[in-house]
Copies of this chain bind each other. A is one copy, B any other.
Amino acid sequence: MDHPIGIGLAGLGNVGAGVFQNLQRNRTLLRERLGLDLLIQKVAVQNPAKRVSEGYPESVLTGRWQDLVEDPAVQIVVEVMGRKDESLQLILASLRAKKAVVTANKALLAEHGAEIFEAAQQNQTPVFYEASVGGGIPIIKCLREALVGNHIASIHGIINGTSNYILTRMSEADLSFPDALAEAQALGYAEPDPSLDVNGWDAAHKAMILASLAYGFWVPKDQIFVEGIEAITAADIRFAKLLGYRIKLLGIIKASENEGSEVEVRVHPTLIPQSHVLASVNGVFNAIAVHGDVVGEVLLYGRGAGQDPTSSAILSDIAEAANALQHPRRDLGFSAHSLYGTCKPIGSTLSEYYLRLTVEDRPGVIAQISGVLGELQIGISSILQPESDEEGANVALVMMIHTASNSQIQQALDRISVLSCVKRAPRMIRVEHFS
């Protein structure tokens, strides 16, 4: 047995505490499997005294993250502070000191990935980040290694557990968005401030990371179309069900015609056919479906967040890092990169659409609306006039629209919304089928 591999842990929040505990608990197992002993050498926290009172050993605690970088016995730095500037400084300083880095910081990777991987390359020191997307689901390893022989045609991911829990409860129990959110908060599945989860930006950070792996370049954050689930109503979910669909918040990544420098990345609520496996992904679970040109469709499913699942991914990254320290090798597949590309503008992306309108209950209304769509060369695949809870003389009208560009449909919505028979702002939700 070689000397133990020294680990520096930055952060003892929910994930950090999980890493600490699970690394202790399964240390013997890891030693057997890896032929290496993993030892937590130092733990950087904001308040060491408080952690001592919680039972953490005083000898490993420090209030300075710089101590992880400066301690020569720390060979792997695990960044689970989840901050911005400090996390970035720690990662860059660790790489300069030739310490392998493991991080779960999706927001940081999404915004500073290019810089981080440039530093990794310059210092010939690896960065692992399996825990940044999909919690315990090994999607990063799958894209980088298992699908190395595939051109990636598309990725569709349910990659925000909070949103998926809310949509599941709205669907199962016919709850409103605010009621389902309140339930998620009561159960600890949503933060007191749930914005980043329900507005789609947490999923967007993860989608940016997946896109970078699949296509080899980063997309600027401000080019991505992101729509959350706040405006989804129980009625939309019911109508979608009647039509054979479920509504899920998806991160969608697709190859563009300009494959070397452009990619389609978007995050929005999406109608998906109920027969597709993604439609069965309920509660806080995540799942990512990848379409490769050789493998066809592969889907990975599991808990996308939480102390233990996230720890599992970090343990596997630590194992990889420990192995890489002993046997340096070129990263398999999809190597770390520091290039930027562009995101296909949302206006030129194609999809099918669900439209829900509130219209006057009189003859001629459907003809008027379909006339507008016809003039714009937009095809209707079905029309549903469901029992609805609209009051008075108004009724709901649901239309499923054939493939059209996003700017085409926006033009149609602009014209439809000013018709006198249309009583409220139309609701549009994108639809995805899976080839």
Interface residues of A (CB under 8 A from B): 22-23, 26, 29-30, 33-35, 130, 136-138, 141-142, 145-151, 275, 277, 279-282, 292-303, 306, 308-309, 311-313, 315-316, 318-320, 323, 326-330, 332-335
Cα–Cα, bound, A342→B313 (Å): 31
| Among B141, B294, B306, contact of A146 (Cβ-Cβ < 8 Å) | B141
- Nearest residue (CB) in B for A324 is B329
| Chain B minimum-CB-distance residue to A312 | B295
A302 contacts B294, C-beta separation under 8 Å: no
Complex Cα–Cα for A141 and B280 (A): 25
Residues of B close to A301: CB separation below 8 A: 277, 298-301
Please give, as numbers and ranges, the residues of chain B lying within 8 Å of A138 by CB-CB distance: 138, 141-142, 145-147, 298
List the 10 closest A-B pairs by CB distance, nearest first. A149-B315, A327-B329, A138-B146, A295-B312, A136-B295, A298-B302, A299-B301, A280-B280, A294-B312, A148-B319
Q: Inside 8 A of A136's CB, which chain B residues have their CB?
A: 292, 294-296, 298
Known contacts A148-B33, A332-B34: A295-B302 contact under CB 8 Å: yes
Nearest B residue (CB) for A330: B35
B26 x A145 contact (CB < 8 A):
no
A292 (CB) vs chain B CBs: closest residue: B312
Q: Let me know if A26 and B298 touch, CB within 8 A.
A: no
* A312 interface neighbour in B29, B130, B147, Cβ under 8 Å: B147
Q: How far is the CA of A146 from the CA of B320 in the complex (A)?
A: 9
Bound CA–CA A29/B215 (angstroms):
11
Mostly helix, strand, loop or mixed at chain A's interface? mixed
Please, which residues of chain B bring their CB within 8 A of the CB of A137? Answer: 298
Query: Given A294-B311, A295-B302, A312-B294, A320 and B145 touching (CB < 8 A)?
Result: yes
Apart from A138-B141, A138-B298: 12 A-B pairs, beta carbons within 8 A: A30-B149, A130-B146, A149-B311, A149-B315, A295-B302, A297-B302, A298-B300, A299-B300, A301-B301, A319-B332, A319-B333, A327-B327
Task: Give Cα A327 to B324, complex, Å.
Answer: 10
> Which residues does chain B contribute within 8 Å of A328, judged by CB atoms?
327
Task: State how many angstroms separate the Cβ of A3 from the closest Cβ of chain B.
Answer: 15
The smallest beta-carbon distance between A419 and chain B, in angstroms, is 41
Contacts A138-B142, A326-B329, A330-B327 known; A148 to B315 CB distance under 8 Å?
yes
A168 to B111, CA, bound (A): 45
19 A-B contacts, Cβ less than 8 Å apart?
A22-B149, A26-B150, A26-B151, A33-B148, A34-B333, A35-B335, A136-B298, A142-B142, A146-B313, A148-B319, A149-B316, A275-B282, A277-B301, A295-B302, A295-B308, A298-B300, A299-B301, A301-B301, A323-B330
Contact between B149 and A145, CB atoms less than 8 A apart: no
B130 & A29 in contact (Cβ 8 Å cutoff): no
In the assembled complex, the CB of A320 is this many whole angstroms from the nearest CB of chain B, namely 7
**Cα distance, A301 to B137, chains bound together (Å):** 12
Chain B residue with Cβ nearest A306:
B296
Most B CB within 10 A of own CB, among A148, A301, A328: A148
Residue pair A299, B296 in contact (C-beta under 8 Å) = no
Cβ distance A34 to chain B, nearest Cβ, rounded Å: 7
In whole Å, how far is A111's beta carbon from the nearest beta carbon of chain B?
A: 25
CB closest chain-B residue, reference A320: B332
Determine the distance from Cα of A142 to Cα of B143 in the docked complex, in whole angstroms. 12
Q: CB within 8 A of A280: which of B142, B147, B277?
A: B277
Q: For residue A303, which residues in chain B have a CB less than 8 angstroms away from its CB?
A: 295-297
Q: Which residues on B sit within 8 Å (CB–CB) of A275?
A: 282
Query: Which residues on the B side are within 8 Å of A282 (C-beta)?
Result: 275
A333 contacts which chain B residues (CB < 8 A)? 33-34, 319
Tell me how far the C-beta of A434 lies from the nearest C-beta in chain B, rounded to whole angstroms: 12
Contact A300 B300 (CB under 8 A): yes
Q: Are B316 and A146 in contact (CB under 8 A)?
A: yes
Question: Roughly how many angstroms separate A141 CA and B147 CA in the complex, as a whole number?
Answer: 11
Task: Name the CB-closest residue of B to A281.
Answer: B277
